[in-house]
Amino acid sequence: MRRKTEVLTALFFFVIVTSLFPLGIGPEPALLRKIAPGVLWVGALLATMLGLQRMFAADHADGTLEQMVLSPTPLALSVSGKNLAHWIVSGLPLVVLAPLLGIQFDLDAGELGVLTLGLLLGTPVLSLVGSIGAALTLGVRGGGVLLSLLVLPLYVPTLIFGAGAVQAHNSGLGAGGHLSLLAALTVLALFFAPWATTAALRIALE
């Protein structure tokens, strides 16, 4: 929260990117409803990535990260706190904004509900997996490009199931299966990501 401009940059990026598609495609409700889940999910994914590189950079620069490693508090617990903070300031606002932005794609209440629930379940995965990439590229020159190459392929399942939930709801198949898979991905990320991030941070500090 000391770097409010970074948070606002991600939010404005999300709003602008998702708002440009209806303007560029035109007022075709059927087409807008079809592309809405993918556009909103890709926008959320890219907006989340904007702050990933700086997740540990400031702590690494001022020596705080070394103190976190040496402190009696388990590093995995500190990393989990960083992940939670990143999601609260980067992921949760996107979840709140998504229903408002979905209206311009002519989504109905049911579709907006599924989209919002999917983002609520899936955006923590973006922060958790992204923290692994941020730790692996800590202090590396050109780390932003490398970070994108590392985490984007890992984001694909979350993107597919998140966007697919709305499409499954529209087709009458029900979104339960896709949302359950998103929840499973979140549970797996909650279990494995802090430990993987901890190992990557220790390697970066050696």
What pLDDT, on a 0 to 100 scale, did the predictor assign at position 142? 65
Predicted structure pTM score: 0.87
23 close to 114: Cβ distance less than 8 angstroms: no
pLDDT at 157: 92
CA distance 139 to 121: 31
What are the Cα distances from residue 129, in Å, to 66, 94, 125, 151? 22, 17, 6, 7
pLDDT at 172: 79
Residue 181's pLDDT is what? 94
> What tokens does 203 get?
């390697």
pLDDT digits (tens, 9 = 90+) for 181-203: 999 999 999 999 999 999 888 88
Tokens at residue 83, please? Answer: 């992940």
**pLDDT value of position 60:** 78
Provide the domain count of the chain. Answer: 1
Q: What is the pLDDT of residue 32?
A: 87
N residues, the chain? 206
Range of the domain at 168: 4-205
CA atoms of 195 and 200, how far apart (whole Å): 9
> Phi, psi (5° rounding) for residue 60?
-70, -35
Helices vs strands, H then E, count in the chain: 9, 0
Alpha carbons within 13 angstroms on the beta-carbon side of residue 182 total 27
Q: How far apart are CA 68 and CA 71, in angstroms?
A: 5
**pLDDT for position 1:** 64
pLDDT in tens, the chain (206 residues): 666 777 788 888 899 988 888 888 877 888 888 898 999 999 999 888 887 877 887 777 787 888 888 888 888 898 998 899 889 888 899 999 999 988 888 888 888 999 999 999 999 999 999 999 888 888 777 667 788 888 889 999 999 999 899 888 888 788 888 999 999 999 999 999 999 999 888 887 77
Residue range 22-53, pLDDT digits in tens: 888 877 888 888 898 999 999 999 888 887 87
